[in-house]
Structure 1
């Protein structure tokens, strides 16, 4: 059999000189070698980088889960849910209420709001660990009348108007740090006009809107919705204010809301530790 020459073995480039073909081979082999090294390097370092691209509308941001993700050794920080069921004209004084067996001393809404809720929110509100809900309704009653509601409140029509104003402000501004100063101010006021001064102080541009809401169909509907929330709790409320922490009624919070809220937080923040030390 005739032995093939190198030219016969490489028919595709017969016109290239042998020395030139050797150079081409070296470049090809060198390129393949470096490409293999690069692929191997990427494979070995892919798991070490731990970085992913995330973005929107063409934006790209480098993300490292080791830096941005939660650390396993960090303690779990819990939120607490605080619900306050109240009405606008609870008396501001303490009194003795007689039941069949003994006397019970009750502090009512206005005193609780000024001495307990305000203090607790001033100390703990900026920690972002309290989901606060204020529900102005109390021992009222609302009856549906067509597309409207007719409501009667425990302390008369004026209390219904101020309850409705509170609900309008809460619905309008949503977050406790926005609405709570105005609601605290309204608590215990003797007329709607007097309660509206709290709107003027906190939201002057909203005066007309809130006045219309408080005296209109929307205010009555919001009051009725608060009534649905109040009627849904178990056991049924028989006292105002009714304080619920993490779904359970807490009567001790009537006398020290800050302490009871702190005790529900785990781990306890430093602000709570300082407050509890001040009680000793």
Structure 2
């Protein structure tokens, strides 16, 4: 079964021994690389890219794990606040809860081993099932995940946290709980792992912006994500961008003015 995991992520995983794209068909035209890998470049070029007129949203993909302290900090201090200020037309977010976990097949199911213990594996699965329960709609699942990470600790009691965060954010705790016990939930968490390993994630949080991961982008995202998104977005800047971008202009103007005065004094 294919799952709508990656939003507009360009990661493609080929089936071993066959040249077959495993992304859902609705994602095949998300980038030229994806279209090439899925062998539909000509069709995508004719149907999609030639008709693009509006500025595309900034696509941000977060690879993380539920009990990673720096992941928690990024989600609660940067990702969710920025998401709350910008529309999905400006910022498109995809999250993949897996991180540095390992997996192996035991019978018909996957067994996961996580960096921060069994509790983290449970948290990863809960987040993954929240994605599925909300049909991978970031507007619906991100408030829930932010609630999870706000209260997540090494000794977190996930069932109680699930009830609390689901009630606060209008998400079905029953559906998430059922998913966590199901074969579908187990397989979906495996797919999160497949996509994470395909990306070549070395550490978490691992942040990809418009298909690119660099040290500079990573640092900028963790320092001031709103500013990074505003600078990256090519359309008309939304109101929340005004303050962060105007600050840059003021700093630039002051530096330019000081430079001119220094030259006058020198000559």
Shorter-chain TM range is: 0.5 to 0.7
- Taking the aligned partners of 1:112 and 1:262, their CA distance within structure 2 comes to 17
RMSD over aligned Cα, in angstroms? 1.9
Q: Is the 8 A contact 2:63 2:206 kept in 1?
A: yes
TM-fit CA distance, 1:219:
2.5
Question: How far 1:186 moved relative to its partner?
Answer: 0.8
TM-fit CA distance, 1:208: 2.1
Kindly indicate whether the alpha-carbon contact (under 8 Å) linking 1:84 and 1:243 is maintained by their aligned counterparts in 2. yes
Aligned equivalent of 1:87: 65
Secondary structure (helix, strand or coil) at the match of 1:270 reads coil
Q: Is the 8 A contact 1:262 1:268 kept in 2?
A: no
Which residue of 2 is the match for residue 274 of structure 1? 243
SS state at 1:255 partner: helix
Alpha-carbon contact 2:104-2:111 (below 8 Å) kept: yes
Q: Describe how 1:55-74 pairs up with structure 2 within 5 A.
A: none
CA distance in 2: counterparts of 1:165 and 1:194, whole angstroms: 12
Deviation at 1:226, TM superposition (A): 0.6
The count of corresponding residues between Structure 1 and Structure 2 is 186
Match of 1:245 in 2: 209
Partner of 1:258: 226
What TM-score do you get using the length of structure 1 for normalisation? 0.62
Residue 263 of structure 1: CA displacement?
A: 1.5
Aligned to 2:75: 113
Name the residue aligned to 1:69: none
1:209 corresponds to: 175
Q: Distance in 2 between matches of 1:238 and 1:195?
A: 29
Partner of 1:229: 195
1:31-84: per-residue Cα shift (whole Å, max 9, x none)?
xxxxxxxxxxxxxxxxxxxxxxxxxxxxxxxxxxxxxxxxxxxx8522221100
Unmatched 5+ residue regions in structure 1? 1-74, 92-107
The reply to whether residue 169 of structure 1 matches residue 130 of structure 2 is: yes
Describe the shift of the 1:210–1:263 C-alpha distance in structure 2 as closer, same or farther (beyond 3 A): same
**8 Å contact from structure 1 (residues 161, 215) kept in 2:** no
Pairing 1:74-223 to 2, within 5 Å after superposition? 76-91=54-69, 108-124=70-86, 126=87, 128-173=89-134, 174-187=136-149, 188-189=152-153, 190-196=156-162, 197-203=164-170, 206-223=172-189
* Partner Cα distance (2:54, 2:178) in 1: 45
Q: Distance in 2 between matches of 1:226 and 1:216?
A: 16
Per-residue CA deviations over 1:208-255 (Å, capped at 9, x if unaligned) read 22112224433222211111110111xx22221101001111212111
Using the TM superposition, give the Cα deviation of residue 194 of structure 1 relative to its aligned residue in structure 2, in angstroms: 3.6
In terms of fraction of residues, the more strand-rich structure is 1
Question: What's the TM-score once normalised by structure 2's chain length?
Answer: 0.64
Contact 1:149 1:217 in 2 (8 A): no
Deviating above 4 A after TM superposition, structure 1's stretches of 4 or more consecutive aligned residues are none
Q: Deviations over 1:11-31 (max 9, x none)?
A: xxxxxxxxxxxxxxxxxxxxx
Alpha-carbon distance in structure 2 between the residues aligned to 1:215 and 1:276: 47
Q: CA shift at 1:127, angstroms?
A: 5.1
